[in-house]
Amino acid sequence: MNPLENIRIVLTDPKFAGNIGSICRVMMNMGLTDLALVSPREDLNWNEARKMAYKAEPLLDQIKTFQTLEDAVADCTVVAGTSARTGLYRDHAYLPREIAPVILESAAHHKTALIFGREDKGLFNEEIAVCTHIINIPSSELYRSLNLSHAVMVCCYELFLLAGSPAYEPPAECSPEADGAMRERLYAAWSAMMLETGFCEKEKLDHMMLGLRRIFSRGKLTGNDVKILMGLAKQSRWVAAALQREREKQVSGSVTQ
Amino acid sequence: MNPLENIRIVLTDPKFAGNIGSICRVMMNMGLTDLALVSPREDLNWNEARKMAYKAEPLLDQIKTFQTLEDAVADCTVVAGTSARTGLYRDHAYLPREIAPVILESAAHHKTALIFGREDKGLFNEEIAVCTHIINIPSSELYRSLNLSHAVMVCCYELFLLAGSPAYEPPAECSPEADGAMRERLYAAWSAMMLETGFCEKEKLDHMMLGLRRIFSRGKLTGNDVKILMGLAKQSRWVAAALQREREKQVSGSVTQ
């Protein structure tokens, strides 16, 4: 399979339909075909989208829509989100040229996603948390923020160039990686474990989980890895519950004594 | 001087003002400041341009306009034109990544131009003729033609990346290169020479000159080179004129004999 066709461009809550149309054209120019929207607004001007798509209407007509970002990437292994901001785990960001081989290698065997945030505010922290990798498109300090379709262009251009380069060879095989849905089940189990074992307070949980998500996204996370990590969380939660029962027993024991 | 500020983006006869605005934003994102229009239409919707420029209005407000492409690049040494088509000397095209060091090296010392054609028809052959280099932006065979602002984005992105790369060092010195105006004087002299010496028919002249322009644009052309080549043309034209006079003399001589 052509790896470019395994790469899904995901737009979270885009405000301007013209950008959606422009992105269809950019994608078709660069050999991509899979566009998804997360919770698209009711009032998007689809005529404007059609105008900007200009000869890329086939992509516009097969856009997928999802209610949540988690749903949009549930079948994707590598999930790379773009961010113009720094800080809060955004410092481990890749350049588009650095991430291109990671994405193509993933896309040679798995659905892979590139996430772009809303025009004015980018991706929220809880959306960044869903990403396995962060991409930072270099830009001038005088004006950091790119138009949405131009940000998509830069990323797709790097992927198209690398995929077409004679030097590029897709990996022959690849261990089965965990997809978005598996990863989310893992993080849910670990969140519960962290609370139930008393590892952290509820207020600190989101921050802790962001850190953990980064750690687990640094390399590939296979299906087997997830099974082990899930089992570990399950065991700790069982221990925590058992301890709780033990304590309750002692309390009630001391009362009845 | 920052070489990026020495690079002029030249748009020939753009149809949609929205693209002009988008290009202002792209340029400001990528550290460029010099935008020129050739023979802009009277009916351009500047409100649309302002909307798309979004925070890059300063660039919009300092756009230069020129009547001809030759005027727009008269002070530029390297003049690179983008083309999606192949054939007619377009085959010697560079990729944006290949041309970036050539452009930056030129821009370290001279005004340098990047030319983009009209949205629907690109650059005409006589505009391609003004260029010293041709750039071909890679794109999918399914949809070759990029939106104007996205074509500018790709080129500016490569320049911004290279200029900011720690590995990049601008050349310490540079021989004084011929600018656009000098080159056009040279080509005019050579055109006259080719006709006056009977090297080619008038109908073949444009085609011949395109070939010659390619040859002279392959390397750097210094001011001294131009002087020599101008002198050579002048001398051949003098010989051709002398021959003509000689023949006329003989004809009138044979008549009077």
Q: Is the pLDDT of residue B1 over 80?
A: no
Predicted pLDDT at A173: 47
**What is the pLDDT confidence band of residue A60, given thresholds at 50, 70 and 90?**
very high
Best of A120, A153, A155 to disrupt the B interface by mutation (most B CBs within 10 Å)?
Answer: A153
Q: Is the pLDDT of residue B164 over 70?
A: yes
How close does chain B come to A130, measured CA to CA in Å? 27
Predicted pLDDT at A213: 82
Q: Is the pLDDT of residue B255 over 70?
A: no
Predicted pLDDT at A171: 58
Q: What is the mean pLDDT of residues A198-226?
A: 80
Express the helix, strand and coil content of chain B in percent, nearest 5 each.
Answer: 50, 15, 35
How close does chain A come to B140, measured CA to CA in Å? 5
Predicted pLDDT at B213: 82
Tell me: ipTM over 0.90.
Answer: no
Q: Is the pLDDT of residue B173 over 80?
A: no
Question: Helix H segments across A30-111?
Answer: 46-53, 57-61, 69-72, 96-107
B 51-80 residues inside an 8 A Cβ radius of A: 52, 54-56
Q: Is the pLDDT of residue A216 over 90?
A: no
Q: Is the pLDDT of residue B156 over 90?
A: yes
Task: Report the Cα B50 to chain-centroid distance in Å.
Answer: 27
- Tell me if B136 sits within 8 A of B84, measured CB to CB: yes
Tokens for A125, please give them: 């922290």
Residue of chain A whose Cα is closest to the Cα of B52: A147
Predicted pLDDT at A90: 55
Q: What does the mean pLDDT of chain A come to?
A: 88
What would the pLDDT profile of B33-74 be if each residue is shown by its tens digit? 999 999 999 999 999 999 999 999 999 999 999 999 999 999
Q: What is the mean pLDDT of residues A249-253?
A: 80
A154 touches chain B (CB under 8 A): yes
Q: Which among A119, A135, A117 is positioned nearest to A80, based on CA atoms?
A: A135
Q: Is the pLDDT of residue B76 over 90?
A: yes
How far is B102 from A74, CA to CA, in rounded Å? 45
DSSP state of B66: E
Helix, strand counts (H, E) of chain B: 10, 6
Residue of A105 and B212 predicted with greater confidence? A105
Best of B51, B60, B140, B152 to disrupt the A interface by mutation (most A CBs within 10 Å)?
Answer: B140
How close does chain B come to A82, measured CA to CA in Å? 16
Q: What does the mean pLDDT of chain B come to?
A: 88
Residue of B219 and A195 predicted with greater confidence? A195
